[in-house]
Structure 1
Amino acid sequence: MALHRQSLSPTANLLRNSRLFSLPNPLPRPPVSETFGAGISKASDSATLPYPTHQAITTTKSSLARGDWGLKRPLPSRSHLVQVSDPVLRINQLDTIEHVTDFDSAADHVRTRQKWEEMSVPMMKGMTQMRDYDLSGTPPSGAFEARDDTTSYDTEMGLDEAGLYLRALKLNREKNQAAERKTPKALETDRRKAIAAEQKAFQAAQKEKWEAKKAEWDALGITGKDRPEELKAFRVKAREERKAFKKASAEQNSPPPAPFSPFSPPPVDPIVHNTKRWKHEGPWLPGLGAERFTEYLAKEISKRRGEFNTYLVEFVKNEIYTTRRLAASKSGKTAPMDIQEAEVWHQEQERQWALITNDEVKEGIKALRKETANNPLGSKLVTKLIMPFLKLPAIKFKYKAYAADASSRDIDQYQFDQETAPLSTHPSAGLGYLRSKSYIANHPILGPQSSPSPIPARVIQPRTTSTTKEVYARLGVGGFVANDQFRSTDTSSGSRANISNARDVETIDLDTVGGKKVLVQPMFGSVTNDGRIHIKLKRSSGPEVQVARGELDDKPPMREGFDSDPLRNLGGTAKSGIKELDEQSARAKQLNSFLDGMNLQDKAV
């Protein structure tokens, strides 16, 4: 029998009666600050965050009238945050110490996303195309292309050059281990018998020495207890001889090194194998704190040390084999002229190259460590082994002393290359799902258009401010702030031939109500590693501007250089090129009409 509602606990009642009782934990608040040349950071508490941190919720019209949002308690209907046409809220805290629900409006990010969908802007990966000034070339590929939207390590497209090398190294290691296991059992049995015989002979010699020492003490009438120092020295000497024998026996009877089977690096197809993945299994090391980095070393690295040493030994052996082969090719030794003798000679050379001892492997590891100490990010050990083995994103430095936004501080001249750093989200950032801008806008009256309707952008900051002169003017488009297409250093008239006013964003416009607006066309957007959205804008200057203003002229388009009457010069009034014969030309007719008018005026007078 079902329990009565009153017999249930308050928590059970809450979960049964609430339609929304679980909200995802909010993301950490991103810093909203800007660093200036002197290293001073200016932050704002009221500025819109670059990305939402709380879940946005909404409710139906009927529930809105009752203040029911599916929470623990109704929200006040008199709040100005819900007295709008389509309210959306974010819950800062479900239950405070004052027994109220702390909420705020989420319209800033929700409306911005709706505007983005209306603008139909595709997203692309990386910030390289954002720095291009010429927008007439091939547009960049979208964020949903197979090259940029790859996260798997099991497919060919998910591996880069280092990943292919590590996979080939792993397969070659398995091949060599299988060859080592095929060692003849007879040789292994003989080796063990030889070791056992040597141990038996050594033990017999040690026993004879002890019996001789004991007989000497018996002849003198003393025992080992009467001379503890001599007994202790004898035992220490015997122990040292035993250790030396074991070491010598192990070196003498150790199995010969198995011939190493080398491998060649696999071919890399630049179209298939790339490094444009946006998600890695390993962490971004420069972004880890001291505690998290120590924890990563203790938990993740320590338990895989043995597996990594296996690949390291295989890598060193292959490097030694390659070095020997290269040195032999440069030594000038030639193979015999006879084909069979040449084959035997080559086999002997390869057998000698493949015999690699443990001491040579240790020396190779020391050389790799020395190279890594001199060049940590560009060494072979890091690029070919550590990065693909731990599946870490590549770490590259970028020199920015000559960049347009370069800082005067020395610490800011070198920065991590953001093109290789992993993203905190998908390259599309959940804003849209267009792969490119290759679509045709359809006007309800004029039909298909070559260019979509432009979007008005408000001039938020002109090039010339009260204190500085910026390179770009900043425009506000659909809730985002973007740079203008033109720079203050653009002086060529050809780049601004289609702009009615070349200096329209140079200074602030105080006369226009609401500020000056320009018509732009968003080309594509991109998200940075810290979650900020950037948009590439292009000024609109063609017929789409007239369509956006409502200047709809219902006439067919006129082709350039079109002559409506190509046979007009074939009549009797055609020009001959001679002034005396061109009396009936257009200029002559104008002159005759002017003279006739003067004559009529004279007659009237």
Structure 2
Amino acid sequence: MSVARSVSPGGALLRTSRLFSLPAPIPPSPTDASNGHHGSLSATQSFPTHQIITTLASSRRRGDWGLKRPLPLWTTTKSTNAMLRVKQIDTIEDITDFSSATDQGLTLRKFQELHIPLTMPAENTPFDSPRASASSMNLPKRSVFEKDSDFTTLDSVNKTALKDKRWRFQGPWLAGMEPGQFAKWVAKRVRPRRPEFREFLKQKLAADMLQSTSQRAIDNGEPQPELESIVVSDEQLTEYLRRLRSNPKEIYEMVGQFLDLAPLATPQEVENNTGSGNPYSKNGPPVTHPSAGLSYLRTSEYLDNHPLYGPQASHPATLARVIRPRRQNLQVDAKLGLAGFVLDAPTGDTNSNHKFNLRQNPLSKLDVDLKGGAKIWVQPTQASINANGRVSMLAKDASYEEMLIAKEMVGEEKIFGEKPTEPEPEVPVSGTRETVKRQMARKYNPKGSSMSGAPQYGLDDGAFKF
């Protein structure tokens, strides 16, 4: 049995100060609770729940992490990246409980290297739906940092217009609760507050009565009454309750305001797949900030300046690993791994899906003998955080020129400074229809990639030998 130790006033002040304390951990994602039973025990959580700390290399060699006591060297010097997750600074055994946080720390670094903004989730169609990825690829998305959605409290200005567009609510999202959870919540949280709700309704009725009384006073030229002068009797409150019970929509709004419930989509909106003006009414509010602290960019409308070719028409391409190949007979889409996240492979007429490269397409089969796995060049375009705190990302296939420039930056290709070569002679197009297709593909798309604007990068088609 633990015994509470007396602490001096100065020691208590230091323990609770920002200098000597860490933020309290946040609750884990609801989907992470089942990973220990149905998933991998070593799977990374959807989002970090504890503060991640790091230290300098010179301090780490001494075990100095800025905590109460030095940490053991044999567990903190094995990793190249010094990142720890402190669960408890001072336990009853007089030790510091910690674990490695390299998985989530490196995930944050890799995501920030992509330089893509976080956007609001789609209202009508779930953002992580594979069928919605192709149709919503080029649709404009709103940033999570817009002033009409990035707030948690209401004031007199936006209390009516933006009351349901917050991302944090005191009450739960009723559509995401199990029947047993709902019954327990009603018994413990709702029923004891019945007298408070009657007082809340009495204030609402008094405000309505004040409005009608003030209007009559204005019409008669009399001074307007104050809210304190309005007295609501028990009979008036009972009649008001009867009127509310006959109007389910109005009484639900009253209950939602009193308990500060997250908004819900109506059955008609769910059936017709129409929006209600709230991005969280269909899938629930997020468990973290809509950006999750991954990126603070508000837009992707900026130019990347290449050191040799100048401003680029698009952002740099990056490599994505093929995690699951496409199975057309089972209608299973391919999955890619990018910066520690899983996303759907690009769809449509793209480089990796070109019909002339089906046999060499890395998305068509999984090569287990290939070291590091098969990879394709993609360009991430959008990212969003769903209601469970998971990252949903979209990416399109990188063009041939974007791929060459990305390879040149890492030393795998050499384009700048190459001598121009003579263009190949024109080949007459003749033969059967399939032969003509193959000849046209070799002529205008020799590498099996989709055509794009090479002059935008300072490259001339046929002027360089790649």
User: What TM bracket, shorter-length normalisation?
Assistant: 0.5 to 0.7
Distance 1:15 1:361 in 2: 52
Q: What's the counterpart of residue 111 of structure 1?
A: 106
In the alignment, what sits opposite 2:245? 369
Distance 2:142 2:12 in 1: 52
**Structure 1 residue aligned with 2:314:** 451
**Cα offset, 1:382, TM superposition:** 1.5
Does residue 392 of structure 1 match 2:387? no
Q: What do the CA deviations read for 1:407-461 (whole angstroms, capped 9, x no partner)?
A: xxxxxxxxx9764622222211111111111111111121111111111111112
Residue 52 of structure 2 corresponds to residue 48 of structure 1: no
Counterparts of residues 8-157 of structure 1 (less than 5 Å)? 12=11, 21-30=20-29, 42-79=38-75, 81-95=76-90, 100-128=95-123, 130=127, 131-134=132-135, 137-157=138-158
Query: For 1:365 and 1:528, how far apart are their aligned partners in 2?
Result: 38
The one-letter code of the counterpart of 1:159 is T
Contact 1:462 1:507 in 2 (8 A): yes
Query: For residue 111 of structure 1, what is the amino acid of its counterpart?
Result: L
Distance 1:509 1:293, change over 3 A: same
State whether structure 2 residue 148 is matched by structure 1 residue 280.
Answer: no
Larger Rg: 1 or 2? 1
Change (3 A) 1:134 1:290: closer
- SS, match of residue 472 in structure 1: coil
- For normalisation by structure 2, the TM-score amounts to 0.65
Output the CA distance in 1 between the equivalents of 2:402 and 2:320. 15
CA distance, structure 2, for counterparts of residue 506 and residue 402 of structure 1: 36
Aligned residue in 2 for 1:602: none
Q: CA deviation at 1:553?
A: 3.8
Secondary structure of residue in 1 paired with 2:342: strand
Cα contact 1:482–1:534 (8 A) shared by 2: yes
Q: Distance in 2 between matches of 1:554 and 1:25?
A: 53
Q: CA separation of 1:19/1:530 partners in 2, compared to 1, >3 Å: closer, same or farther?
A: closer
1:537-595 per-residue CA deviation (whole Å, 9 max, x = no partner) reads 2121242111112245459xxxxxxxxxxxxxxxxxxxxxxxxxxxxxxxxxxxxxxxx
Aligned equivalent of 2:289: 426
Distance 1:547 1:500, change over 3 A: farther
Deviation at 1:533, TM superposition (A): 1.4
Q: Which sits farther off after the overlay, 48-57 or 502-511?
A: 502-511
Moved more, 499-508 or 82-91: 499-508
TM-superposed CA distance for 1:478, in Å, is 0.6
Q: Deviations over 1:316-375 (max 9, x none)?
A: 9999xxxxxxxxxxxxxxxxxxxxxxxxxxxxxxxxxxxxxx999966743542453xxx
Q: Provide closer, same or farther for how the CA distance between residues 301 and 535 of structure 1 changes in structure 2, counting only shifts above 3 A.
A: farther
Q: Which amino acid aligns with 2:41?
A: D
Alignment of 1:226-237 (within 5 A): none
Q: Deviations over 1:228-266 (max 9, x none)?
A: xxxxxxxxxxxxxxxxxxxxxxxxxxxxxxxxxxxxxxx
1:519–1:540 contact (8 Å) kept in structure 2: yes
Tell me, yes or no, if the aligned pair for 1:393 and 1:420 is still in contact at 8 Å.
Answer: no
Aligned to 1:302: 195
- Relative distance call for 1:125 and 1:57 in structure 2 (3 A) is same
SS in 2 for 1:149: coil
Cα distance in 2, alignment partners of residues 443 and 19 from structure 1: 42
When residues 22 and 140 of structure 1 are mapped into structure 2, their CA distance, relative to the original with a 3 A threshold, is same
1:517 CA drift (Å): 0.6
Matched residue, 2:336: 475
Task: Give the Cα–Cα distance (whole angstroms) in 2 for the partners of residues 279 and 314 of structure 1.
Answer: 27
Q: Tell me which of 246, 250, 261 is aligned to 1:380.
A: 250
Tell me if the contact between 2:120 and 2:143 (Cα under 8 Å) persists in the aligned partners: yes
Gaps of 5+ in 2: 1-6, 213-233, 274-278, 418-466
- Could you tell me whether the CA contact under 8 Å between 1:32 and 1:47 is conserved in 2? no
SS of corresponding position for 1:460: strand
- Alpha-carbon separation, structure 1, partners of 2:29 and 2:388: 8
CA shift in 2, pair 1:511/1:65, >3 Å: closer
- 1:513 to 1:144, Cα distance in 2 relative to 1, 3 A: same
Distance (whole Å) between structure 2 residues aligned to residue 359 and residue 97 of structure 1: 59
Q: Which runs of 5+ in 1 are unaligned?
A: 1-7, 36-40, 161-272, 320-357, 373-378, 404-415, 556-605
Change (3 A) 1:458 1:85: same
State the alpha-carbon separation in 2 of the partners of residues 96 and 55 from structure 1. 17
Give the Cα separation in 2 of the matches to 1:62 and 1:363.
74
Cα distance change of structure 1 residues 115 and 157 upon mapping to structure 2, 3 Å threshold? same
Show CA shifts across 1:41-80 (max 9, x none). Answer: 722221111111122111223321211223333222222x
More helix by share: 1
